[in-house]
Amino acid sequence: MTATALSAIFASLLYIFASALILFKIQSGNDAAIRSAVIRVVLPALFAHGFALTSTLWIDEFIYFNLGNGLSLVALLGSAILLITHLNKPTETLGIFIYPLAALSTLLPLAVTEQVQLPLELGSHVLMSIAAYSIMGIATAQAILYSVQERNFKAKRLPKLMRSLPPLQVMENTMIQLLSIGFIFLTFALVSGIFFVENLFEQHLIHKTFFAILAWIIYGLFLFGHSRYGWRGQTAVKFTIWAYFALIISYIGTSLILQFVAE
């Protein structure tokens, strides 16, 4: 068995262990000890995951991209960002949604063998786009959890999972921080696309470009409104979900739209 495969399996097992620790925390309510344990488990998982992914993603100054390492990259970035928030906020409970997916996606590059070879410049644009997509995905998940948590709090219904989540203020601040970071990545992805993607506004790419720009405008409008007018709460949730919906159409729904137009 190769070092890449061993690293991927090791990372997957660590993610599963971290998920089990978080589940134990939700059931027992033991916060402090579990939080530090999750950090100690996830950190080596990220290094092993990164080593395994790099071995399949970047070879001889080319980026080899497929669905497997694309999803693995999304999971790696999501797990890394979540770990960073663990360091200064009690957000480890959110890992119950992220780490099981990371455990699965870490192994995907071993199963998916068909690859597309991309030049470094174009590959960098693709990776930047995936980074933006993954960060905004975490922000959207955070927004949905925040919305559910707030509604349960107002209705005075707090099941174990809701009680184990960080306070509403921490959830909201984390969501805004993720949106700000994701907006920067999305901006760089759009700018790099102008330079490195040929015929960006031609028929076969115009729908993808349109919805990516639309998502960027919605995110930017909310961040401006939050900074200038104090938009927050359910308003932030609505902007986040609608913007991510546009981003999903941009990155996943393009072929369906083109098929519909062709008909």
| pLDDT tens profile 134-153 | 889 889 988 998 998 888 88
Tokens coding 263? 């008909």
- Total count of residues recorded for the chain: 263
Query: What are the C-alpha distances in Å from 11 to residues 103, 154, 205?
Result: 7, 39, 36
How does strand 116-119 pair with strand 62-65? antiparallel
Q: Which is more confidently placed, 162 or 188?
A: 188
| Domain ranges, ordered by start, for the chain | 1-112, 115-263
Are the C-beta atoms of 212 and 243 separated by less than 8 Å? no
131: pLDDT strictly greater than 50: yes
In 10 A of CB 31, how many CB atoms? 13
Q: Looking at residue 192, what is its pLDDT?
A: 82
| pLDDT tens profile 85-119 | 878 777 788 888 889 999 999 998 888 767 777 77
For the segment 53-66, the average pLDDT, to the nearest whole number, is: 77
Q: Which is more confidently placed, 30 or 219?
A: 219
Residues facing residue 119 across a β-bridge: 62
Single pTM value for the model: 0.79
Tokens coding 235? 């308003």
Task: Specify the range with the lowest mean pLDDT, choosing from 45-49, 163-167, 179-183.
Answer: 163-167
Q: Looking at residue 252, what is its pLDDT?
A: 60
